[in-house]
Structure 1
Amino acid sequence: MGGLAQPTAQKPRLQQAILLISSLISLSYSIKVFAVKWQSVRNKLQELVSNLSAIENCESSENLSLHVTVESILATLEGCDELSKRCLDLSYSGKLLMQSDLDILSARLDTHVKSLSDIYAVGLLRQSYALVVSRPISASASRDDIKFYITDLLSRLKIGCREMKKQALLAFNDVIQEDERYVKIAVELDGFTNLLVNLLDLQDRDIQEETAKAVSLISGFECHKGVLIVAGVVAPLIRVLVTGSELSKEYAARCLMRVTKNSDNAWSVSAHGGVTALLKICGNYAEGKNELVGLACGVLKNLVGVEEIKRFMIEEGAVSVFVRLAKCKDEVIQMRSLDLLQIMANGDESIRKLIIQEGGIRTFVCILDPKSSYLTKTREVAFRGVVNIYFSSENSLSLLINHGFVDHILQFLRYGEVSMQELALKAAFWLCGTSEEAKKVMGDAGFIPVLVKFLDSKSYEIREMAAETLSNIVILPQNRKKFVQNEQNVGKLLQMLDPGEVNSGNKKVLLSILMLITSSNTARKMILNSSYLTNVEKLAEAEVSDAKKIVRKLTSNRFRSILSGIWHS
C-alpha cells in the first residue's frame, strides 16, 4: 500500500501542506477499518485544506505565526500518514489504542483550523487576491467534489477578509440557483447555516445583501427551511428589515414569507418585533418600493391567521394601513391588502365596522367601477371582499348602494368578461338575499331582464344562480309587475320548463317564479297564450306538485275554463 505523494523540496511549505492533505484525503477512502473515525478525520482535513487554500491567496511570507502553524500542521500530517499506513496494512497493535490515536489526531486538526482562523481574524494576513476554487462541472460533479467546493467556501466565509467573504457568497448564490445538491450539502455541513445567519448582522451592505439573498434562496427549498429556523434566522432577518438596505430588506421579507407559511413560525416573528417592523414598511409605502411592501404584506398575511397576532396588528393601526394600500397603483399590493382586510374581518363585527370607518367601502367599490382599469383578478378579490365584509350589515348595504355598487354589478352582468359575470351574479345572489330594500333597488335598476337572459346559460351553476336570484327578487309585488311587463320574460321562463331538457336549470325554482307571477291577470293571459304552456302541462302530468298547482290556478281563471279532466282528479 502506498503512502503520501512526496512534494518537491522547492515547493513552499504552505503548498507542501496543501498537497499532503490532498493526498491524505484521497488515501483515506481506501481505509476499511475505523470507518466512522476516518470519516471524521477526512472532514477535518477537508476544512483544513480549504483554510490553507484561502490563506495561500494572501501575502504571508513574513508572518511568523503562520510559519509556526504550518510547521505544526506538517508534523501532524506526518503522524496522520503513519496512522493511515498502519490502518491500511492492519499493522496496529490494538483497536483501543488506534481509536485513541485517531481521536488525538482529530483534536489536533481542530486546533490547526482554529489557529488559522485566529491568524486571519486578527488581521495578520493581507489579501493579495481572492480566488475561489474552481466550481465542479455540475453535470458530472460527485458529492465529494461538491462537498470540497462548499467546504472551501465555508473556510473563506470564516477566515476571509471582506472581499473574500463577498466573493464566496457570490459563488454560493450562483451554484445553489442551478443545482439543489449544493444547498443540501451546505445545510448538512457543520457550521455553514449558522455562519450565514451570523453574517446577516454584519454591518457591511454588500455582504449583508448577499447573505440575505443566500438564506432567501435556501428558504425556497421546502425541505431546507427548517434548518434556517433551527439556526435562529428569524431574529437577524427582522433586524435586517429595520436597518438593512432596500435590497437586503426584500430578501429578508421574501425569506420570512416562505418560512411563515408554517404557522408555527409566526410566533417567532411576532416575538422578535417582526409585526411592528413589517407594518412600518407598509405604512411608509411610497412609489418605487412596491416589491418590498408587497412582500411585507405577504408575511403579514401568513401571520394574521393567529388571533393574538391579528389583535396586535389591529392595535398597531393595520386597518388604516391596508385600506390606504388598497388604493395604490400596484395591483399585487392592492390584492394582498384586500386579502388582509378580508381575513381580519372574518367573523369579527368590530373589525368590519373599523374597516367601514376607515373608508373601506368606497375603496372596494372604486375598484369595481367598470370605468376603471383594474385587472380582473384585483376586481375578483374586491368582489369577494364586499361580500365577506359588508353584506352582513344593513348600514354597509346602504353605503354600498350609495357608492354605486348595484350599478357596477349590473354593468358587469351585461358587458363583463365571463369570470366577472360569474362574480357579479354571485354578488347579485347574495345582495338580493340581504334585505327587502336590496330587492327593491335591484328591481328598479333593471336586473330582471338581465337575469332572465342567464336562465339558458351553458353553465348549470349560472342558470341555477340566476333562477334563485330572480326568485328572490320577484317576491316583491312591484318586481313581479316589472317581470310581466315584458312578455319575453314569461316566454323564456316557460321555455326553460321543457321536461325533455335535462340542462334547463332548477325547475323547482323556475316553477316557484311562475307560481308567483300567476297572481297577475296579465301574466296568466301570457302563460295561457304561450306556445310553451305544454311544458307546464307535461310536468303536471308527470305528477310534479308545483306544476299541478299552477295548472289548477290557470284552470280556475275565466280566460281558460276548459282543460283536460285530469286536472280535476
Structure 2
Amino acid sequence: MVSSVKQAVDVISSLISLSHSIKVFNVKWQLIRKKLEELSSGLMAIENCDDSSGNTAAFSDLVPSILVTVNECCDLARRCVDLSYSGKLLMQSDLDVMAAKVGLHVKNISGIYTAGVLTHGFAIVVSRPGLGACKDDMRFYVRDLLTRMKIGDTEMKRQALVSLYRVMIEDERYVKLVALELVDIVKVLVDFLDSPEMEIQEEASKIVSFISGFDLYKRVLVESGVVGPLNRVLETGSHLSKEGAVKCLQTLTVNSDNAWSVSAHGGVTALLKICSSSEFGGELIGLACGVLRNLFSVEEIKRFMVEEGAIATFIKLTRSKDEVVQINSVEFLQNIASGDELVRETVVKEGGIRALVRISDPKSATSSKTREVALRAIENLCFSSQVHINMLMNYMFTEHLLFFLRNGEVSLQELALKLTFRLCGTSDEAKKTMGDAGFMPELAKLLDAKSYEVRDMAIETLSSLVSVPKNRKRFVQDDRSIRFLLQLFDEDKGISGNKQLLLSILMSLTSCNSGRRKIASSGYLKNIERLAEEHVSDAKRLVRKLSSNRFRSFLSRFWHS
C-alpha cells in the first residue's frame, strides 16, 4: 500500500504544479488546490506508517479511490490548460464536483486520524522551506501544518503548533500568510484555545498572542471570535496559557470596542481574580494590570471595576514582596483615580494613602524604583485636597521626605524636593511643621546643586518656608546655613540660582535682629553692595535697610553713652 500512497502523493504534487499554470476558473482552482494540499499532507503522514503494525489497514480502500479522483482531476486540469473543454458552464459544474470529491477524501482521512488509527509516531513532517523561499513553498508547508492540526493526535497537533510558532517568529512573512491568506488556521487556533489538552491550549495562546502584536492582523483575530475563548483561558487555562491570553488581550484592548467585548465576556472579573490570587507571580499580574488599565479607559467599565472591588485588590497588592507586583499595583491605583474625584475618594477610604506612605518609608524593604513610583502616585493623588494633605502629615510623610533630601539617590532626592515644594505651599501650618523638622538646612545645601532645576526649586521652597516668622528665627540661628546663603553672592563663585529670590530670602531674614546683624557683619555684604551699584533693585532695598539699621544702632549707642 505504501507504494500506492507514494504514487498518489507524486501525482498530487504534479497536479498542484500544473494547476498554477491554469488561466481560467481561477477561484475554483484555488479552492481545489487548497484541498489537494491538505490531501497531500494527510497522505504523506500515511507514507511513513509501518504496515506490520496494522495501522494502515484503514487506508487500504481509501487510497485507490483517491488515485481515481486525482487522475480525474488531472484530466480536468489539462483540459483547462489547453482550453479544450466543451463549455464553460459544464466545466464549472465539473470543477465543483471535483472540489467536493477531494474535500470528501480529506474528511475521510481526518476521520481516521481522529479515531486514533495513525499516531504522530508514524507521521513524517514536510521539510521547512529555507530562508527566502517562494510563497508557494511557504504556503504548502503551512498547509501541511494545518492538516496535522486538523487530523493529528494530541502530540502531532502540538508539534505542528510549535513548528508554526517557530517559523512565524523567525520570518514575519508567515504571519501575513496565516493571518491574511490561510485564515482557516486562525479559526483552528481560536478553537484550540478551548482545547481540554493544556499543551495544545498553551501553544495556541502563544501564537495568537504573537499575531496580535501586529496591528494589521488584530482585526482578523477579533473577527474570528478570539475574545471569548481568551477570556475562558483566563478562567480555566494553565499558567502558560493565561500568559499568552493576557498578552493577546493587552494588545487587543487598546481599541475601546474590543474593551467592551472583553468586559462582556467576563474578562474584568477573570483578570481581577488573577490579580487577587496568590498563585501567580509578578509577570502575569503585571500583564493583567495592563489589560485592566486599557479597560478602564471606558468609563462604564471603570465603574464596574470599582464595584467589583478592584481598589481593595490593588491596595492589598501594594504589600507584595514582588517588585513588579508592587509597582503595577501603585500605578494602577494612580491611573484609575486620575481625574476622577469619586474613585480618588474610594482609594483614600480603602487605605490607599497609608499604603503609599508605607511604601515610601525609607525603613521599608521596597526598592528605590518602587519608592519613586509611590512618591509620584502621592503627588498625583494627595495634593488636590487639604484633608488628604493632613493625612500625609499625620502619617509622618515629612520624615520620609527629609530623609530623601539628606540621603536619597539623585532621582529620589529630586522627587522629594518637588513634593517638599508642593507641601510647603499648602498652608502655614505645613511650613511650620517642616521648619521644626529641619528642612531648611537641607534646602540650603541644595542651593548650589549642579542641576539648575534643583537649585531653582530649592530656592523657591526655602523662600516659601522663611515667609513664616517662626521659621525665619530658626533659620538665622543656624550660622552654617546663613554663611552658605551669603557665599552664593561671592563674586568668584558666582550667584547660583534665582538672584531675585535669594535677595528676597535675605530681605525676609532682616526682619529678625539677629538676622540683620549676621548679614551686616558678614564679609559678603560687599557683594550685595556691588549688586546695588549695578542697579539691582532688590539689592538696593536690602542695602538701604541694613544701612538704616546700622545708623539707628549708632544713634542708640550715642544717646546711651
Per the TM superposition, whether the score is higher than 0.5 is yes
Matched with 1:217 is: 210
Structure 1 unaligned segments of length 5 or more: list them: 1-9, 563-569
Between the aligned residues of both structures, percent identity stands at 56
Alpha-carbon contact 1:241-1:249 (below 8 Å) kept? yes
Superposition pairs of residues 114-129 of structure 1, within 5 angstroms? 114-121=107-114, 123=115, 125-127=117-119, 129=121
Cα 1:104/1:536, change in 2 over 3 Å: farther
Change (3 A) 1:67 1:492: same
Q: 1:419 to 1:84 in 2, by over 3 A?
A: same
Q: Give the residue type in structure 1 aligned to 2:44.
A: S
Q: Are 1:266 and 1:303, in contact at CA under 8 Å, matched by a contact in 2?
A: yes
Structure 1 pair 37–546 and aligned structure 2 pair: CA distance change class (3 A): farther
Q: Which residue of 2 aligns with 1:133?
A: 125
2:219 is the counterpart of 1:226: yes
Match of 1:558 in 2: 550
Label 1:260 to 1:539 Cα distance change in 2 as closer, same or farther (>3 A).
farther
- Single out whichever of 268-277 and 289-298 deviates more from structure 2: 289-298
After the TM superposition, which residues 143-162 of structure 1 pair with which residues of structure 2 at under 5 Å, given as runs?
A: 143-162=135-154
Which runs of structure 2 are paired with 1:185-224 in the superposition (5 Å)? 185-188=177-180, 189-224=182-217
| 2:307 maps to 1:308 | no
Deviation at 1:313, TM superposition (A): 1.0
2:67 counterpart (61, 74, 78): 74
> In the alignment, is residue 243 of structure 1 matched against residue 236 of structure 2?
yes
1:25 aligns with 2:16: yes
Which residue identity is paired with 2:110?
Answer: S
Whether 2:366 is the aligned partner of 1:393: answer no
Report the counterpart of residue 159 of structure 2 in structure 1.
167
Instruction: Report the equivalent of 2:559.
Output: none
Q: Structure 2 counterpart of 1:74, which letter?
A: L
List per-residue Cα deviations over 1:20-65 (Å, max 9, x = no partner). Answer: 11112223344556666544443332222123334545665433xx
Contact 2:35 2:102 in 1 (8 A): yes
Change (3 A) 1:274 1:96: same
Pair 462,130 (structure 1): closer, same or farther in 2 beyond 3 Å: farther
Deviates more, 1:95-104 or 1:410-419: 95-104
Go from structure 1 to structure 2 and tell me whether the alpha carbon gap of 1:278 and 1:561 turns closer, same or farther (over 3 Å shift).
Answer: same
Aligned to 1:264: 257
| Partner in structure 1 of residue 406 of structure 2 | 414
The correspondence for 2:454, drawn from 449, 454, 462, is: 462
Task: Give 1:536-547 correspondences, 5 Å limit.
Answer: 536-547=528-539
Distance 1:193 1:330 in 2: 36
The structural deviation recorded for 1:69 is: 4.7
Q: State the one-letter code of the partner of 1:464.
A: D
Instruction: Name which of structure 1's ranges 529-538 and 453-462 shifts more when overlaid on structure 2.
Output: 529-538
Cross-structure match for 1:567: none
1:367-516 aligned at under 5 Å gives the runs 367-497=359-489, 504-516=496-508
Name the stretch that deviates more: 420-429 or 79-88: 79-88
Determine the structure 2 residue equivalent to 1:4. Answer: none
Residue pair 2:529, 2:543 contacting (<8 A) in 1 also: yes
Cα deviation for residue 72 of structure 1 reads: 4.1
Partner Cα separation in structure 1 for residue 457 and residue 289 of structure 2:
34
Q: What is the rounded CA distance, in whole Å, between the counterparts of 2:423 and 2:120 in structure 1?
A: 74
Alpha-carbon deviation of 1:238? Answer: 1.0
Equivalent position amino acid for 1:231 in 2: S
Q: Which amino acid aligns with 2:519?
A: I
Look up the match of 2:345. 353
Residue pair 1:130, 1:167 contacting (<8 A) in 2 also: no
| Equivalent residue, structure 2, for 1:44 | 35
SS in 1 for 2:121: coil
Which residue identity lines up with residue 159 of structure 2 in the other structure? Answer: Q
Alignment CA distance shift 1:231-1:128 (3 Å):
closer
CA distance in 2, matches of 1:165, 1:55: 16
Structure 1 residues 111, 501: closer, same or farther in 2, change over 3 A?
Answer: farther
- Secondary structure, counterpart of 1:556 in structure 2: helix
Confirm whether residue 252 of structure 1 aligns to residue 245 of structure 2.
Answer: yes
Change (3 A) 1:128 1:404: closer
Offset at 1:497? 5.0
Q: Is the 8 A contact 1:499 1:535 kept in 2?
A: yes
Deviation (angstroms), 1:147: 1.8
- Paired with 2:531 and 2:177, the residues of 1 have a C-alpha distance of 72
Aligned in 2, Cα 1:533/1:172: closer, same or farther, shift over 3 Å?
same
1:203 partner SS? coil
Q: Give the aligned residue type for 1:321.
A: T
CA positional deviation for 1:503: 7.8
Aligned to 2:269: 276
**Matched residue, 1:7:** none
- In structure 1, the residue matched to 2:330 is 338
Report the AA paired with residue 373 of structure 1.
A
Q: What one-letter code is carried by the residue in structure 2 that aligns with 1:229?
A: V
Q: Which amino acid aligns with 1:45?
A: L
**Stretch deviating more after TM superposition (339-348 or 85-94):** 85-94
In the alignment, residue 291 of structure 2 is paired with which amino acid? Answer: V
Q: 1:190 to 1:298 in 2, by over 3 A?
A: closer
Name the count of aligned residue pairs: 549
Per mean C-alpha deviation after superposition, the further-off stretch among 135-144 and 427-436 is 135-144
1:259 alignment partner AA: L
Distance 1:36 1:175 in 2: 28
Structure 2 SS opposite 1:374:
coil
Distance in 2, matches of 1:537 and 1:104, equals: 106
Q: Any stretches of 5+ residues in structure 2 without a counterpart?
A: 555-561
In the superposition, relative to structure 1, how do residues 326 and 130 fare at CA in structure 2: closer, same or farther (>3 Å)?
Answer: farther
Q: Deviations over 1:127-179 (max 9, x none)?
A: 36253524425435333322222111111111222232222222223333333
Paired residue type of 1:517? L
Q: Does the CA-based 8 Å contact 2:129-2:137 persist in structure 1?
A: no
CA distances 1:235-265 after superposition (whole Å, capped 9, x unpaired): 1111111122233223222222232233432
Task: Map Cα deviations across residues 264-307 of structure 1 (whole Å, 9 max, x no partner).
Answer: 32111111111011112222225x64443333223212222222
Q: Which amino acid aligns with 1:248?
A: S
Question: What's the counterpart of residue 548 of structure 1?
Answer: 540
Name the one with the larger helix percent. Answer: 2
Q: Check conservation: 2:317, 2:329, Cα contact below 8 A.
A: yes
Equivalents in 2 of 1:217, 1:321: separation in Å?
Answer: 29
Of 503-512 and 93-102, more deviation after overlay is shown by 93-102
Residue type of the alignment partner of 1:184: K
Instruction: Compute the RMSD of aligned alpha carbons.
Output: 3.0
Retained in 1: the 8 A contact 2:285–2:325?
Answer: yes
**Higher deviation after alignment, 186-195 or 494-503:** 494-503
Question: Match of 2:288?
Answer: 296
The alignment's TM-score, normalised by the length of structure 1, stands at 0.87
Per-residue deviation, 1:332: 0.5
Kept in 2, the 8 Å contact 1:499–1:539? The answer is no
Shift of 1:501: 7.9
* Matching residue's letter, 1:243: T
**Which amino acid counterpart does residue 25 of structure 1 have in structure 2?**
I
Deviation at 1:544, TM superposition (A): 3.9
Q: Quick check: 1:132–1:167 contact (8 Å CA) kept in 2?
A: no
